[in-house]
Amino acid sequence: MKLCQKCGQLVAEKILSCPSCGSEVVEGRKYIDDYQLVEVLHEGFSSILCRAVKDGMDDPVMIRIFTPQSGVDEKIADRLQEELEELKKLPENYFVRHLEIRKSSDGLWYRVSEWIEVETWSSLLASGRLKDYRTALKLFFKIVSILEGLHQIGHFIPHLILNDLIVIKDDNENLEVKIDYKLSRFLNPQVDQSPPMLKKLISSHPDIINQRPLDFRSGIWSLGKVFVEIIAADYEIIDFQTKIDELQIPHDAQVLLKIMLADDPDLRPESMAEVAEVLRQIIDKKIETLPSPVREIRGLKKRISLLLIVMVLLLVLGILAWLYFPFKNQNKETVLEDFANRYSSSVAFIVADYWLKDEETYFYRNRTEGTAFLVDKEGFLLTNRHVACPWLEDNNLYAIINRLKLLQKPVHFGYQLFLWFEGEKAFKRLPDFPGSLDLEDIYFVESAYSTNGVPRLTIAGVAKSPVKTWQIIKSPLKDDFAILKADKLPEGLEPLPIDYEMEALKIQKLSPVITLGFPLGNRTQEKMVNVSVTRGHVRRAFENMLQVDTSIHRGNSGGPIIDTSGKVIGIASKVAVGRTAGPIPIMTLLPDIGMVLPITKAAAFLNELKSGQTKWNGVLDLSVDIKIKQITDLALKGQWDKARALADQELKVSFHPLLVMEAGMMHFYSEDFQG
């Protein structure tokens, strides 16, 4: 920008006469170092964007000159250079490449970037190409796929605006996109000189307005805002939810945009992977462009005539079917309905709460929810290992444990389980505030079976997860089961019968089944525990896994899979994971493809437990290495009886597999074969 020397009016670089006083204004800058400024593309308060050509070169580059008002100095320039080096690690096909940060001979800082022949959003919208919502959704899918790739490496863009999305055409005139990603959105966060589009985002983003911590879901809200602005061709929208209702797009797309733009972060999709999966499903439907009202009216009479003919044919076919195919057996759907109502009261909702802490400080805490079901009048319940002992598969927990070990910080592991049967009061329906550690604010823990209270709940045993390659290949669900024990069962509960003779490979394809559980955990519950039932069929059977098409979501894990004989044939364990096609591969959950653990191994494990065999309860013992060393030290001194006694004493506290093995060795070497 330039300043009129006569009246002080600010004017753009390419303006040669002052619009205020009419005076001649000196010609603007033509060079910066050895770069010739061919065209000024944009001027703002903090920077000037130009197309430039380096002396002796033909290919243009993009140069952003930081104005003196921007506040860019050596310190900020060093930060920008560090960010530039980090950005070079990203795939260059999907992100704008910035080449270097330099300081000109006259003291101005500038950034050199690759030149891209872009399609401006104004020309793209004016062309009408995005009026076909399928074209727009395909473009959105590419954007989401790139952003999901960023999420996978820990980056996200909460301040995403339309100008960050660079649209280009490939050789076949297809629309592609690059993202102008900035590790830091603001040159100087203390100076509010944001461009209008960014200011509008800041003034409307609920997470920024309410001063919430920014996370991946903040970026999802910003992306939803951009999508609505593109489809509506309106950059001045205030009420996004109302505007979405006016858009001529499929209902599924409207729902997606509404939840992306929800004020409450908990209502938004958890990840870009979820957004990508919904977009993929909408695109795959290949819905034709919405017909105009005129065309609908023209074809109305023809449709009515065809509809009448179809209805008559259906009526005739229905009568024939009733005459020639009388019901010889009770309807299988009715049978499953009876079993669902019969056994729902014996299905329980589980909450697992676990932590790492020293005397005063929590270093880590997490909470999970799932399902268990009664299988014995003595109070034994079956569930998944990852429901009863979620800490065994929590990589974040182990990372913190290892970090604290390096710091030699003494901590202990703690946990508590809570269980409520169908119909019991469990949920207080208060907001689950982020960071809240007080379960009493969310659940009626006083009415629950619990590991630290009465009535008592204990972990009777968990299956060991296979570790060898051949074991994992043969058992893809990793023997994911555990057994709980509840004291003093309520009256009237009927244990679910287990099919002890079930052979997974003999199950017929399309055999109808139901699953009982709690999809999405407490989010879909009122005050009382209310079991959900979903129907489906066995699609494929393997020796150690069944694939079903009944919907399985987070919270269903640990629930029973019941066949038409009324017996449990498996435990709902997880959903299938697919790789979404896109520029960056995305792992997505496929909730309609459920993975079920056949009941056979869990049934055998239950019988072993009831016969008196000792099983590990899955509780972590962070001091097990110290205990084993103490036992071993006594053994090395020849004090076998003391070593055996110490091992037996520690077994009263923990059945950790290493302690069991150590105790067995001490009994063997001390010639005590009765222990």
Q: Could you tell me what percent of the chain has a pLDDT over 70? A: 84
For 2-114, which CATH superfamily applies?
Answer: Phosphorylase Kinase; domain 1 (3.30.200.20)
Better pLDDT: 230 or 381:
381
d(CA 349, CA 450): 12
Q: Which residues contact 303 (CB under 8 A, 6 or more apart)?
A: none
Cβ neighbours, 10 Å, residue 328: 5
Q: How many residues does the chain have?
A: 675
What is residue 434's predicted lDDT score, i.e. its pLDDT? 47
User: Which residue has 């010639």 as its token pair?
Assistant: 671
- Among 56-60, 186-190, 387-391, name the one with the lowest average pLDDT: 186-190
- Do residues 443 and 418 touch, judged by C-beta distance below 8 A? yes
CATH 3.40.50.920 for the 340-610 domain, yes or no: no
d(CA 483, CA 614): 13
User: What is the enclosing helix (H) or strand (E) of 239?
Assistant: none
Question: Within its chain, how far is the Cα of 42 from the centroid?
Answer: 38
User: Which residue has 């990589």 as its token pair?
Assistant: 395
Which amino acid is located at 77 in the chain? A
Mind listing the pLDDT tens digit for each residue in 401-438? 988 888 888 888 999 999 999 989 888 865 454 445 57
Q: Which residues contact 650 (CB under 8 A, 6 or more apart)?
A: 627, 631, 659, 663
pLDDT of 21 over the 90 cut: no
Say which CATH topology domain 121-186+196-284 has. Answer: Transferase(Phosphotransferase); domain 1 (1.10.510)
What is residue 335's predicted lDDT score, i.e. its pLDDT? 84
- Average pLDDT score, the chain: 83
pLDDT of 329 over the 50 cut: no
- Among 482-486, 487-491, 635-639, name the one with the lowest average pLDDT: 635-639
Better pLDDT: 7 or 238:
238
Beta-bridged to residue 112, according to DSSP, are: 63, 100
Query: Which pTM was predicted?
Result: 0.51
Dihedral sign for Cα atoms in the order 232, 237, 239, 240? positive
- Do residues 13 and 51 touch, judged by C-beta distance below 8 A? no
**Which tokens in the block code for residue 286?**
């290949």
What is residue 637's predicted lDDT score, i.e. its pLDDT? 86
Beta-bridged to residue 369, according to DSSP, are: 351
Mind listing the pLDDT tens digit for each residue in 269-292? 988 888 988 888 888 775 444 444
Q: What is the dihedral of CA 460, 465, 471, 477, to 10 degrees?
A: 90
> Quick one: three-class SS letters along 15-48?
CCECCCCCCECCCCCCEECCEEEEEEEEECCCEE
Give SS3 for 335: helix
User: Domain segments of the chain: what residues?
Assistant: 2-114, 121-186+196-284, 295-324, 340-610, 624-669
Cα-only R_g, the chain: 33
Rounded to a whole number, what is the distance in angstroms from the first to the last CA of the chain? 89
pLDDT of 70 over the 90 cut: no
**Which tokens in the block code for residue 403?**
């970090």
What is the pLDDT confidence band of residue 296, given thresholds at 50, 70 and 90?
very low
Mind listing the pLDDT tens digit for each residue in 86-133? 888 887 778 888 899 999 999 999 999 999 888 888 888 888 787 777
What is residue 523's predicted lDDT score, i.e. its pLDDT? 65
d(CA 645, CA 326): 72
d(CA 344, CA 422): 7
Q: Which residues contact 460 (CB under 8 A, 6 or more apart)?
A: 380, 483, 484, 485, 609, 615, 617
User: Which residue has 């609505």 as its token pair?
Assistant: 228
- Among 112-126, 159-173, 584-598, name the one with the lowest average pLDDT: 584-598
What is residue 377's predicted lDDT score, i.e. its pLDDT? 94
